[in-house]
Homo-oligomer: A and B are copies of this chain.
């Protein structure tokens, strides 16, 4: 078996508790013994047993990270790697470990979360998505277990939920207004899955901008897709089949926008000449597309970093008031938007 505290104690000629105190660098141990004990630890290659510590301390220094159930789709989206990167940075600084959920369906995940909290496998939980009416959130609230949401809770009841989010409504409103200013009057909206709060916020912002400008937001210009791969493409077909097809598109995220560009390319509709496109997230590949995407940078890394910060604080002091952090976004203009050209000018 591995070397334990007892072995070190024996070699250093002290009691196990002394060794323990040396590990904690207790001030009640003389420098001389500390020295001796440390040498013994070195010599034996001692490392404290993680489980033993966790057991007695009643804490694991580990954060549970919950990835949405549609992992197949979700994980393809650079959003998740990037949040995790943010989480990772902060967790490393605070010496916390990361424990990843592995469930694929909503129920599997719920069961997993239950395990995590009840078996004390983690000290807190990071939820990487916010769904409308989510069972996991409800469970966590009911258990009063420390957790932080990335996104925002949908239900009003969830006042006590800490979260880190962007102002997605405002972002959507801004890009729509921008398109409006460019003279576009028929603007399509390609949203993600309606179960996600972010989709609803985007839609709301889009509609507010339209209404404010005196336009009616017509149902047929609004389309939702969750399948990123085919999603963008089908959405384009649907919208371009309208009697009056849109001349600009607000797209749920960069990856889907890529699919949109691809489809547009196939249909020989040129971007931005004949169609303007704006999307959200500003993941790296939005710069690599042809043409590069005009998009909203939501600072994904920061979302993860802040959420982790917030969670760890909450773990250290459970009485912390609930916090709502809004990470600012930034509109990035690249090459997929252009002033609208009147129809005749094109067709002539």
Q: Which residues of A contact B (CB under 8 A)?
A: 1-2, 45, 47-52, 54-55, 58, 60, 62, 65, 71-72, 75-76, 78, 80-82, 84-85, 88-89, 91-92, 96-100, 102-104, 108, 114-115, 118-121, 228-229, 232, 255, 258-259, 261-262, 265, 283-285, 287-290, 292
B100 touches A100 (CB 8 A): yes
Taking a contact as CB atoms closer than 8 A, the residue among B121, B232, B259 that contacts A50 in the complex is B121
> Is A50 within 8 A of B119, CB to CB?
yes
A75-B81, A259-B288 are known contacts. Are A49 and B119 too (CB-CB below 8 A)?
Answer: yes
- The 15 sampled A-B contact pairs (Cβ below 8 Å) are A2-B118, A47-B118, A49-B55, A51-B54, A51-B121, A75-B81, A75-B84, A75-B85, A84-B100, A92-B102, A98-B102, A99-B100, A255-B288, A285-B285, A289-B290
Bound Cα distance A80, B80 (Å) = 11
For the complex, give the distance between the alpha carbons of A54 and B78 in Å.
35
Q: Is the CB of B55 within 8 A of A287?
A: no
Asked if A88 contacts B102 (CB within 8 A), the reply is yes
Whether the pair B81, A76 counts as a contact (CB closer than 8 A) is yes
Decide: B97 and A285 in contact? CB cutoff 8 A: no
**Number of copies of chain A assembled together:** 2
Nearest to A57 among chain B residues (CB) is: B51
**Chain B residues closer than 8 Å to A91, beta-carbon distance:** 102
Alpha-carbon distance A263/B277, docked complex (angstroms): 21
| Alpha-carbon distance between A60 and B258 when the two chains are bound, in angstroms | 42
A100 to chain B, nearest CB (A): 4
Contact A100 B76 (CB under 8 A): no
Q: Is the CB of B47 within 8 A of A71?
A: no
Residues in B with CB closer than 8 Å to A62 are 99
Instruction: Report the nearest B residue to A60, measured CB to CB.
Output: B51
Q: Known interface pairs A45-B118, A47-B119. Does A255 touch B89 (Cβ–Cβ under 8 Å)? A: no
Tell me the bound Cα distance from A228 to B285 in angstroms: 10
- List 20 extra interface pairs beyond A92-B104, A98-B102, A289-B289, CB under 8 A: A1-B58, A47-B114, A47-B118, A47-B119, A51-B120, A75-B82, A75-B85, A84-B100, A88-B100, A88-B102, A89-B102, A91-B102, A98-B99, A99-B99, A99-B100, A228-B284, A229-B284, A229-B288, A262-B289, A290-B290
Please tell me if the beta carbons of B288 and A262 are within 8 angstroms of each other in the complex.
Answer: yes
* Contact of A50 with B120 in the complex, beta carbons under 8 Å: yes
- Closest beta carbon of chain B to A234's beta carbon, Å: 13
In the complex, A232→B284 CA distance in Å? 13
A292 touches B121 (CB 8 A): no
In Å, the complex CA distance between A48 and B285 comes to 45
Docked pose: A75 CA to B77 CA in angstroms: 11
Which residues of the partner chain B approach A92 to less than 8 Å between Cβ atoms? 102-104, 108
- Chain B residues with CB under 8 Å of A265's CB are 290
User: A261: which of B48, B102, B290 is its contact (CB, 8 Å)?
Assistant: B290
Q: In the complex, what residue of chain B is closest to A94 when comparing beta carbons?
A: B102
Question: Is B289 a contact of A258 with CB atoms below 8 Å?
Answer: yes
A85 touches B71 (CB 8 A): yes
A49 in contact with B120 (CB, 8 Å)? yes
For A118, the chain B residues whose CB sits under 8 A away are: 2, 45, 47
Nearest neighbor of A266 in chain B, beta-carbon distance: B290
Q: Decide if B97 touches A98 in the complex (CB within 8 Å).
A: no
Q: Do A287 and B229 contact each other (CB < 8 Å), given the known contacts A55-B52, A60-B51, A120-B49?
A: yes
